[in-house]
Structure 1
Amino acid sequence: MRTTKKPLALIILSLVFVVTVLFLVNEYKSERTETSEAVYKETGELLDDVADEANRFGNERVGELELIAKYIAIIADDKEELQSFLKQQNSKMPFLAGLGFISPDGEIMAADGSRFSVKEREAFDRAMSGHITTSELFNFEQNPDLQVTAISVPVNKDGKVIGVLSGVISMTDIIHRLVSDTSLLGTVYLIKNEQVVYTSGDEISEADSIHKSQRILDGIPNAPSGVVVEDEKSAHYLFYKMAWNDWITAVDSAGHPDMEKMSAKRWHYTFIACLVLIMSIGSYLYILKLEKRQRRAARQDVLTQLGNLVKLEEDVNYFQQEKQESSTIILLNLLEFKNINNWAGYESGNQILMKVGKRLSDGLVERHTTYRIGGGEFAVLLPGNRTRKQAEEITANLCDLIQRPFESVNHETIRLKVYAGIRNVDVDSKGKATQFINDVVFACQEARRLTETPYAYFTDKLEQLDSERKLFVKELSDALNRGEFKLVYQPIFSFKDDKFVSFESLLRWDSAEFGMVSPLEFIPLLEESGMILEVGDWIIQEAALQVRKWRSEGFSELYVTVNVSVKQLLDESFISRVQDILLETKASPDSLVFEITESVVVEDSEKALQTVTKLNDLGISTALDDFGTGYSSLAILSLLPFQYLKVDRSFLDDLDSTDSQAASVLRGIVSIASGLGQVTIMEGVETKEQLDVLKEIGADRIQGYYFSKPVPPNQAFKLL
């Protein structure tokens, strides 16, 4: 996960962010282009309207003043009528700031009756020479704050200029009224003589006006009209155009609300991109958190919250390879802990496991870490270098901690047995954590065989033994394929029939590597490795073929007993495989008896009952083997439908007469079995005295060296 999911998540989230940004940029560019085009178009239209209005207004005023001048030529000699006429015309023309007649001497008769001298002498002189002129800007006499332009029209009478008609106009008022009435948007500038006369924006700074007017004036020499691009990205344009009487009209798109919208959209899209980035970063951090939690969960036991096998391996490698420090691994195995789950319940079992973990965590002064490997297996890792004696003393203390009484959920007192393995890991030890842990597991297994102490220290001798054991297991795994397994048979004698009525089949291994191997050495390994399933099927098949052969040779009631392991009996496919063997060998079901130890009942009584019942339904009888070696034997007698009861040889050790205590116990067992309809078979009979006592107390059948050791099939047939 550390090498795949995190980079993948980073790539995906990065792609999401990049795609989102590209999409937003594309959308913004598309909208910006549309907005820019709209602003460009509307700003240009506004400029055309303003310039056209300025031209129209100027031309119309000139025409109107020419008509007035013609009438004034008629009444010019009558000063009162002239004054009245000027006043009347001025009131009809609100767009004129003022109207007046200038006499040849330069005196102005204003419409409001005031008299003052002409200011724009140059324009007046040109008008007196017969030209229609327009003055430069000047401050209006009646309103000094207002800058105006005077249109001067000569008044002709009898071919002679007798004066000048002056119409004062404010282009500022005209443009302002136009901008107020139009629906087009933008900021309008009116420039005359390199001076900004008017701006429609109330918030336009003087510095900004000067800057923009200068940009426009710089462009005038190249073209009388045009566009100055201030900022194409934000659709900021300055449109300008020469109008009437050298007035420059300009429109700045900066006042266009669509530009404000674009700015808002830019920040909106930026916000979305930042939000996606934050969400991507947050998602990645969350993934890292989940990954960290998963890594921790993968290294932590769910029940006890202690580290697990993965964590132990990591820590061992850390101390040896990274920290360059020696350490000691102690593995503790609770002996047959699964039995506690079966009779005390899983709740009690889990509670005990948590208490064991706490005792191991809190029970040592030395710096250490506790782990639960699985089931009833715990481990303790001790950093630092220590002697074998020190490690064994610590292990003994740990074993003592675990073997102290526990109280279960049901307030029952539970005592545990434990065995432990110890492995010292030096800095220069060859191998990795996996190998070191395998070593300590082997030491733990060896500790189970010891009687002096419940722990074993992994030494060179154990390492050699471990190598031999691995070779042993390897050879064992190939033994069936190489044909090294064989069955031997020990006869079972019936008092009632006074003859041998059956044989117990027993497995032997004649190894090419090790010679004849004791069943006590290899059968437990078959159980532990799971090979017993395949080998067990082979045993049933061989026994079935052998008894079928013997029956065909005249012993029609002979049967053979076969030992069935716990793993076989609890395997889901066991019954179907037995059926297949019966079909293949054509053996009669009543020619086989399956011997089952009481440990299978302790393992899973419900499953055992189902399997034994199905075997009986097939016609295969069952026998309870090694009766008397477990604590629940009497209960098992009534729990499962066995047809035979094989009594363990340990009852015969003190059997010397019919009056002995052992004989009384055996008499009771025979009586109970008889009451349950079970046939008793006494194992381990070796003397004539034992035979006589067993016959006297009513035993049904006997088996042991008194008659014969287990022998090959041909010798067994001779016994018949």
Structure 2
Amino acid sequence: MTFNEKVNILIVDDRPENLLALEAIIEREELNIIKASSGEEALRFLLKNEVAAVLLDVQMPGIDGFETAEIIKAREKTRNVPILFITANNMESEHIFTGYSMGAVDYLLKPFDSIILKAKVDAFVEIYKVNQILKKQAEELKKQRDELENSYLTLSKTTSQLRISEELSNVISETSIDSMLIIDEKGTILKANPAVEMAFGFEEAELLGKNIHLLFSEPSSLKSVKSMLEMISQAEKIQRNGKLKELMATKKDGSLFPAEIQVGKRFVQDKCIVAITIRDLTNQKQYEETITHMAYHDWLTNLPNRRNFNDEINRIIPVAKKVQEPFALLYVDMDHFKFINDSLGHLIGDSALQEMAERLMNCLREDDFVARVGGDEFNLLLPNTNRDEALEFAEVILEAFKQPFFIDRFELFITACIGISVFPFDGEDAMTLIKNADAALYRAKEQGKNMYKVYHSGMNLQSFRSFNLQNDLRKAIEQNEFFLVFQPRINIATGKVTSAEALIRWKHPSWGNIFPAEFIPLAEETGQIVEIGEWVLQEACRQNRAWQQAGLSPIRMAVNFSSQQFLQKDLVETIAQILDETGNTADLLEIEITESIVFKNEVAMTQTLKKLRELGIYLSMDDFGTGYSSLNYLRHFPVHSLKIDKSFIQDLSNNSQESIAFIQAIISLAHSLRMSVVAEGVETTEQLNVLTDLHCEEIQGYLFSPPILANEFEEFLLKNKENPHLVEEKTTEANINLHQIMRADSQGVKL
């Protein structure tokens, strides 16, 4: 006898996409897939129809999966319908235990394996067909009871055995990835699925008849298993909250692994069956450890990250207070690391950071701690370390960075600045210590590269001032707080003013006059230097045009450019537009650049300079001799003149033969390359005489005039026109006073 009717399979899930996915996996010609989006809808269908199996989602609004299963099992008509729970990976053990106590055949965890799901459903369908055939056979036997009584009794016995076998197959799924056991109330193992051998190394034959204690020999785990068996023997039904804590399971070779256990208990024909599911948590534990490590460590260097550092400093502060020991916080920042990324790329930069982290690690003592807290920023904690020891440790770090970094095919020289604060003198909480170490780092970077500074209370005032200046810079142009001063340049041969250098000043409403040495680095740090530089260029060209319209002889106006300005893609177009708007010709504009700007990106800079020269703009290299000049590159740069730095000019007053020889070499070099020479910082007649003998073309300095306001510069031009013999002319009393006020310009930053 065969069964040819379509078989009903009921799938229950509140999410339509899950229903469609399940239907797609198990659908075949002989099946009639019934979809229900809630427990209520599923129960209404079961009132009128028979099904081979129910695929039931646990978590649903309204009646959830457990309640639905409880109602199904309570009804005589549906109590033997196989229920396959489908749930998420993070189901806790009490939920899985509850499902088995409700009569669940098995669990499938999302995302489930489609092959396993289809195999299970096929098995349920085959069992259902067998049951339906048996029902039909029973009906026929009932009609033929008299002549087939013996056959009926045999069939009843077969049906009874089939029911026991069916219940056993409901408890142990041969396709489960978890280890599953059938035990009696005393803990004797009656059956094991194939996953047991994979997890424990025991074959099923080795376990049958043995107590489950064999798999949990670790003392605390064994105690828990014994308590579980006592609970099973005493409880008629295991409650939903009967969750066991995590245990250590024992393999055949004696090794241990973390495991989670779920227990289900049922009575089948007055026989107690206890189902044990054992889940290996090894992979889950490793995954959790990996996630935790990632959360507290830097992905690039594998050092502790900022979160880890904050935990560590907050851990050691109470310890240091208790034992009354100091500790030091070192804030380390790489000097100009951004240029490595910008010029060589982030892959080289990342490799350099890894090498930096390695060198810092090699500097550490046994209990020291280092973390990467930013792009090129590292924090170090030095327990039981006073101020003097912290300074010695900073020296160790700077010494470690003296050796070059060999990255790929590049040899890099990378230095660092360090800010130091010491507990409890510089702060008794993490926030204060970090803030003060940062303030010390800021002061170290202000003083140059490869420096370290220890915090002192005056740094907070300077940091407060710098913070306010950074904010006020954003509105200084709008509120007309900037102004220009002009310093004339004199042609030695004629004594006439040939050009002038425009220099910016800031009249702050609260702090008074602020020199460029203080606010230009802040503008470069915040990126406002481009806007400020454009204002200087616009104002210098406007003022030069105003002098021309006033009838003064045209002179060339020199303007300093920063490296960030040269990074602008439309720099040449912007300069051309400003010249056009102010009515100036290109030959009356001079752009001063420093060696450091040029040699950061020789190729790009050379192209830009050539475009500016093609416009007719005069180009000069400022502070020549203070950088890392390459004569090979210099001959390719399209500059018109070199400016000798004032530091070399100052030594001429002492008749320093080395300085004279050096300046003579610069002048000879310039003349051989068809460049003129400007000496800046000329303050004495002795300096002027030497420069004259060395055939320097132009001079600039306090001997003739400090930087002065526009109206004073106009008067200077008129006097120079009337009497160009400035070598014999003394500076006026007004100039002397102005010289005293603005002498700080000689040490300032230009723009």
> Given the two structures, how large is their TM-score scaled by the length of structure 1?
0.59
In structure 1, C-alpha distance between the alignment counterparts of 2:353 and 2:293, rounded to whole Å:
24
Pick aligned residue for 2:540 from 543, 550, 557: 543
Aligned residue number for residue 137 of structure 2: 42
- Say whether residues 1:654 and 2:651 are aligned partners: yes
Partner letter of residue 524 of structure 1? Answer: P
Does the aligned pair in 2 maintain the 1:368–1:381 contact within 8 Å? yes
Aligned residue number for residue 392 of structure 1: 391
Partner letter of residue 536 of structure 1? Answer: G
Identity %: 28
Shift of 1:389: 3.4
Offset from partner CA, 1:343-366 (integer Å, 9 cap, x none): 999999988766654454344546
Aligned residue number for residue 718 of structure 1: 715
Aligned residue number for residue 560 of structure 1: 557
Aligned residue number for residue 367 of structure 2: 367
Matches within 5 A, 1:335-414: 357-365=357-365, 367-372=367-372, 377-384=377-384, 386-399=385-398, 401-402=399-400, 405=403
Tell me which moved more, 352-361 or 520-529.
352-361
Does the aligned pair in 2 maintain the 1:347–1:409 contact within 8 Å? no
Tell me which moved more, 586-595 or 497-506.
586-595
Residue 699 of structure 1 aligns to a residue whose secondary structure is: coil
Aligned residue number for residue 436 of structure 1: 433
Aligned residue number for residue 594 of structure 1: 591
C-alpha root-mean-square deviation of aligned residues, in Å?
4.7
Matches within 5 A, 1:52-131: 53=147
Pick aligned residue for 1:188 from 135, 149, 152: 152
Aligned residue number for residue 330 of structure 1: 330
Count of residue correspondences: 512
- Give the 3 Å change call, closer, same or farther, for CA 428–572 of structure 1 in structure 2: same
- Give the 3 Å change call, closer, same or farther, for CA 341–532 of structure 1 in structure 2: closer
Partner letter of residue 292 of structure 2? Answer: K
Pick aligned residue for 1:463 from 441, 460, 463: 460
Residue 17 of structure 1 aligns to a residue whose secondary structure is: strand
Aligned residue number for residue 631 of structure 2: 634
- Give the 3 Å change call, closer, same or farther, for CA 604–273 of structure 1 in structure 2: same
- Give the 3 Å change call, closer, same or farther, for CA 550–42 of structure 1 in structure 2: farther
Offset from partner CA, 1:593-649 (integer Å, 9 cap, x none): 211111113322233223323333444332111001123253442242212211112
In structure 2, C-alpha distance between the alignment counterparts of 1:613 and 1:12, rounded to whole Å:
67
Q: Which consecutive residues of structure 2, in runs of 5 or more, have no partner in the other structure?
A: 1-86, 92-107, 180-194, 196-276, 718-751
In structure 1, C-alpha distance between the alignment counterparts of 2:367 and 2:688, rounded to whole Å:
62
- Say whether residues 1:291 and 2:291 are aligned partners: yes
Matches within 5 A, 1:100-179: none
In structure 1, C-alpha distance between the alignment counterparts of 2:646 and 2:145, rounded to whole Å:
126
Does the aligned pair in 2 maintain the 1:370–1:380 contact within 8 Å? yes
Partner letter of residue 647 of structure 1? Answer: I
Does the aligned pair in 2 maintain the 1:43–1:252 contact within 8 Å? no
In structure 1, C-alpha distance between the alignment counterparts of 2:603 and 2:670, rounded to whole Å:
22
Does the aligned pair in 1 maintain the 2:650–2:682 contact within 8 Å? no
Does the aligned pair in 1 maintain the 2:405–2:414 contact within 8 Å? no
Shift of 1:704: 1.2
Aligned residue number for residue 534 of structure 1: 531
Residue 176 of structure 2 aligns to a residue whose secondary structure is: helix
Aligned residue number for residue 176 of structure 2: 271
Does the aligned pair in 2 maintain the 1:658–1:696 contact within 8 Å? no
Partner letter of residue 295 of structure 1? Answer: A
- Give the 3 Å change call, closer, same or farther, for CA 32–342 of structure 1 in structure 2: closer
Does the aligned pair in 1 maintain the 2:648–2:663 contact within 8 Å? yes
Partner letter of residue 40 of structure 1? Answer: K
Matches within 5 A, 1:550-629: 550-554=547-551, 557-582=554-579, 584-629=581-626
Does the aligned pair in 2 maintain the 1:20–1:273 contact within 8 Å? no
In structure 2, C-alpha distance between the alignment counterparts of 1:17 and 1:427, rounded to whole Å:
58
Pick aligned residue for 2:695 from 672, 680, 698: 698
> Given the two structures, how large is their TM-score scaled by the length of structure 2?
0.57
- Give the 3 Å change call, closer, same or farther, for CA 650–391 of structure 1 in structure 2: closer
- Give the 3 Å change call, closer, same or farther, for CA 411–496 of structure 1 in structure 2: same
In structure 2, C-alpha distance between the alignment counterparts of 1:650 and 1:318, rounded to whole Å:
51
Residue 537 of structure 2 aligns to a residue whose secondary structure is: helix
Does the aligned pair in 2 maintain the 1:28–1:265 contact within 8 Å? no
Shift of 1:500: 1.4
Pick aligned residue for 1:253 from 159, 173, 186: 159
Offset from partner CA, 1:206-247 (integer Å, 9 cap, x none): xxxxxxxxxxxxxxxxxxxxxxxxxxxxxxxx5xxxxxxxxx
Partner letter of residue 623 of structure 1? Answer: S
Partner letter of residue 547 of structure 1? Answer: N
Shift of 1:330: 1.3
Shift of 1:265: 7.6
Aligned residue number for residue 424 of structure 1: 422
- Give the 3 Å change call, closer, same or farther, for CA 481–632 of structure 1 in structure 2: same
Tell me which moved more, 406-415 or 349-358.
406-415
Residue 317 of structure 1 aligns to a residue whose secondary structure is: helix
Does the aligned pair in 2 maintain the 1:351–1:408 contact within 8 Å? no
Does the aligned pair in 2 maintain the 1:486–1:508 contact within 8 Å? yes
- Give the 3 Å change call, closer, same or farther, for CA 695–377 of structure 1 in structure 2: same
Larger radius of gyration: 1
Partner letter of residue 387 of structure 2? Answer: R
